[in-house]
Amino acid sequence: MQIATVGVIGAGQMGNGIAHVFALSGYDVLLTDVNTDALHKARDLIEKNLARQVTREKITESDKDAALARISTTQTLADLGGTDLVIEAATERETVKTAIFEDLVPHLKPETILTSNTSSISITRLASRTDRPEKFMGFHFMNPVPVMQLVELIRGIATDRETYDALLAVVESLGKTAASAEDFPAFIVNRILMPMINEAVYTLYEGVGSVISIDTAMKLGTNHPMGPLELADFIGLDTCLAIMNVLHDGLADTKYRPCPLLTKYVEAGWLGRKSGRGFYDYRGDTPVPTR
């Protein structure tokens, strides 16, 4: 199964990072989003991040130029129909993802592999809404994509071996490492990470510690590079809440109940770095704890 052209759906934080690494690895990339501004911002950010890699001597100037030349953009989802591999990296809502797949499927080549970068949603269920469940997989990159080395590969109940082997080869071609996960809520990384973040929010909610003391304790006490509340802001509190709801609904265990304080922050629109406020306020020169 030869893969040379890749379609990426969604030009946000994950989508632009995925486009970046594929283009840098020699794939022709077609990036799509309903928002024209998002596509312009994604291209500018990819160029900026590639330039940073040149400055750090990770890649050459010619590598950067060649990668940028391999990236095209479109607002028309159907244009992705001719690609060999499609990676959906839209918002983490199942209704949005299924609507995208239903619109895209009629335009795909029979041999195109369809994947989702979902961090928690059932791959089997998403695949069932397409015409090719045997050629559908979870393809979960970590954020920031150009830096993080792991990709979770998640097979749905119908995914065939040929599809899995093809994506395993793609991961290797990107210079990354694959971890295979079974199709259960939140897979491996978020099944472990999100309850830890949720527990940190409970620790704040119950007054056990402040934002600073909780993050300092975990950074210095367990050698984590970021504290759990700082990390939650980086990921996006809406994404954290969505994953906790998937865990709670999918596994029916009260230990996955989202902390009410996490829900309150999301209801307030305090989603972390992307909105300017979360557990820290990012509107000034230095992040300031909001609690």
Q: What is the pLDDT of residues 24-59, one digit of tens each?
A: 999 999 999 999 999 999 999 999 999 999 999 999
Beta strands at 177-181 and 150-155: parallel, antiparallel or unpaired: parallel
7 is in an annotated binding site: no
For residue 228, the model assigns a pLDDT of 98
Catalytic residue among 88, 122, 152, 198: 152
Question: Which of 147, 160, 146 has the alpha carbon at shortest distance from 17?
Answer: 146
DSSP code for 34: S
35 is in an annotated binding site: no
Contact call for residues 138 and 154 (beta carbons, < 8 A): yes
The reported pLDDT for the residue numbered 48 is: 96
State the CB neighbour count (10 A cutoff) for residue 255. Answer: 10
Percent of all residues in the chain with a pLDDT value above 70, rounded to a whole number: 100
CB atoms within 10 A of CB 122: 20
Predicted pLDDT at 212: 98
Residue of 102, 71, 104, 98 lying closest to 86 (CA atoms):
104
List strand residue ranges (DSSP E) for the chain, in order. Answer: 5-9, 28-32, 71-74, 85-88, 113-116, 136-141, 150-155, 177-181, 280-281, 288-289
Question: For residue 172, how many other CB atoms are within 10 A of its CB?
Answer: 12
Binding residue per annotation — 148? no
Amino acid at 230: E
In the annotation, is 20 catalytic?
Answer: no
Give the pair of three-digit tokens for residue 265: 């922050």
Q: How confident is the model at residue 92 (pLDDT cuts 50, 70, 90)?
A: confident
How many C-beta atoms surround the C-beta of residue 123 within 10 A?
28
Q: Is 37 helix (H, G, I), strand (E, B) or coil?
A: helix
Question: What tokens were used for 16?
Answer: 């632009």
H-helix or E-strand spanning residue 232: helix 228-235
**Rounded Cα–Cα distance for residues 10 and 148 (Å):** 19
Active-site residue 119, yes or no? yes
Q: Provide the residue count of the chain.
A: 291
Q: What is the pLDDT of residue 237?
A: 97
For domain 190-289, the CATH architecture is Orthogonal Bundle (1.10)
How far apart, in whole angstroms, are the C-alpha atoms of residue 67 and residue 61? 10
pLDDT of residue 172: 97
**Summary mean pLDDT of the chain:** 96
CATH T-level fold of 5-182: Rossmann fold (3.40.50)
Please give the model's pTM, rounded to 2 decimal places: 0.90
> Rounded CA gap, 250 and 258, in Å?
13
pLDDT computed for residue 39 by the predictor: 96
Stretch 228-237: mean pLDDT: 96
The answer to whether the annotation marks 274 as part of a ligand binding site is yes
> Is 57 noted as a catalytic residue in this protein?
no
Whether residue 202 has pLDDT greater than 80: yes
3 state DSSP class of 150: strand
User: What gap in Å lies between CA 155 and CA 119, rounded to an integer?
Assistant: 13
Q: Which of 49, 140, 198, 230 is catalytic?
A: 140
Query: d(Cα 157, Cα 176) in Å, to the nearest integer?
Result: 25
With a pLDDT cut of 90, the percent of the chain lying above it is 97
Using DSSP bridges, classify how beta strands 85-88 and 113-116 pair: parallel, antiparallel or unpaired. parallel
What are 129-179's pLDDT values in tens digits?
999 999 999 999 999 999 999 999 999 999 999 999 999 999 999 999 999
Sorted by where each begins, the domain ranges of the chain are 5-182, 190-289
Per residue in 247-274, pLDDT (tens digit) is 999 999 999 999 999 999 999 999 999 9
Residue 204 has a pLDDT of 98
DSSP string, 263-278: HHHHHTT--BGGGTBS
Whole-number pLDDT of residue 226: 96
Residue 161: predicted pLDDT: 97
Is there a contact between 100 and 90 (Cβ–Cβ < 8 Å)?
Answer: yes
Is 97 flagged in the annotation as binding? yes
Catalytic residue (choose from 16, 117, 119, 198):
119
Active-site residue flag, 172: no
pLDDT band of residue 1 (cuts 50, 70, 90) is confident
